[in-house]
Amino acid sequence: MRRTIIPNRGDLRRKAVNYKTGLDLKLDDEMLQKMEALVQNSSAQFIDQTVETLKALRETLARAAADPATRAEALEQIREEAFQIKGMGGVFGYPLLTEFAKSLHDFLKELNDLDELQQEIVSIHIDTLYVVVSHRIAGSGGPLEAQLRASLKAAIDKAKPGAKASAG
């Protein structure tokens, strides 16, 4: 089958804003301040929502520990919330939040159930995320955060399915 490419007649280009010179935005100081306030407000709302999400995840994990029948649902909820936090952390200037949420999401990705050790790893992740948001740790952190990364990785490696069999 032969494909015919229809040349663009420029209709789209004519409809675009300032298609010849590009989009030239010149913001005055007042507008710039309003935009910065909006970003800060959105960031504050994100942090507040994340704190509430983490509280709910703690409760979900506690229910799952008490009632094994709820573990699959809890696992899916925690996995989904970790994915959401992972996606939004960097947007609001919290790359550590993204990193630790990614670690949690990746840890849960292949699990269908949570044994006690795995529940503890999830709990540590949730606590770590809570520390980042409650202390509003922006940027990539310092030596303490680097040590926490290493400790989380070691704990995850021990809790992965099959780790017990190879450790024994």
Structure confidence at residue 139 (pLDDT): 83
Question: What are the extents of the domains in the chain?
Answer: 29-161
The CATH architecture annotation of domain 29-161 reads Up-down Bundle (1.20)
State the pTM of this model: 0.73
Structure confidence at residue 103 (pLDDT): 94
Structure confidence at residue 165 (pLDDT): 45
- 59 pLDDT tier (thresholds 50, 70, 90): very high
- State the SS3 of the chain: CCCCCCCCCCHHHHHCCCCCCCCCCCCCHHHHHHHHHHHHHHHHHHHHHHHHHHHHHHHHHHHHHHCHHHHHHHHHHHHHHHHHHHHHHCCCCCHHHHHHHHHHHHHHHCCCCCCHHHHHHHHHHHHHHHHHHHCCCCCCCCHHHHHHHHHHHHHHHHHCCCHHHHHC
Structure confidence at residue 11 (pLDDT): 60
Structure confidence at residue 166 (pLDDT): 43
**Position 164 pLDDT exceeds 60:** no
Structure confidence at residue 2 (pLDDT): 58
For the residues 35-50, what does the mean pLDDT come to?
A: 86
For the residues 3-26, what does the mean pLDDT come to?
A: 59
**Position 87 pLDDT exceeds 80:** yes
